[in-house]
Amino acid sequence: MKITDFVKKELKGWNKFEFAGLGIIFILIVVNTVILNDSKLAVINAVCGILYTIIAGKGKISCYFFGLLGSVCYVLLSFKNALWGNMMLYLCYYIPMQTIGIFKWKQHLKKNSQEITKVQLRFKNRLKLIISVITGSILTIGLLYYFNDKSPIIDGITTFLSIIGMFLTVKRAIEQWIIWMIVNGLSFVMWLNLITNGTKAYSTVLMWGAYFILSIYFYIIWKKELKLENS
């Protein structure tokens, strides 16, 4: 398949709002890069991360290629800023899980649109999810306190919730977007606090803010799609 044909195929189904939103985000990142002389790693990570989130929200398997590149950049950013929880999360979990996600999603693609089929967890599984989130977050926070993490509470919650979120992403479950709302909102606060203390990663703050908005948007989109399929 030619590259142009692949791009057209991946962009099929995008609406004007999504194109406009992507354009605005990229313009903000470019302006931010020029004016504030942002870290190159932060810029690459932000661009790849936003592309990953949007394409994943559209249910396209190509999202994982951007996800892998962005994850490598985020590992390096987290290392530089002593965010050990986030660093280990991306290095030991996100990168392997995104690789698995490529093969898992390939098994559940719709023939016409080449988008994944979405699912919703049953009540029993949702209850297990809530218990796991509370227990796992407390344990992770305690561990990060021991290793003198700069933001143990937020880093601990976002680290464990991200493990759950990535698992739900590979499983194609709509509940992932609720998890991502929490992770993205808290991560935005964490990185905003870091740049007020001298860290040069402005694009990373923009990225998490964009993630937060996109997680709300795609939860609504997936909810409508599942409701239509089940009616």
DSSP line for 1-31: --HHHHHHHHHTT--HHHHHHHHHHHHHHHH
What is the CB-side half-sphere exposure of residue 130 using CA atoms within 13 A?
7
CA–CA separation, 215 and 211 (whole Å): 6
What is the DSSP-derived secondary structure letter of residue 200?
A: -
Residues 76 and 202: their CA atoms lie apart, in Å, by 15
Interval 15-29: pLDDT, tens: 777 777 778 777 877
Whether the CB-CB separation of 193 and 139 falls below 8 Å is answered with no
Average pLDDT, the chain: 85
pLDDT tens for 61-71 read 888 988 999 89
* pTM for the structure as a whole: 0.81
pLDDT, mean of residues 131-137: 94
pLDDT tens digit sequence for 74-97: 888 888 877 787 788 888 888 999
Q: Residues 62, 64, 68, 73: is their CA dihedral positive or negative?
A: positive
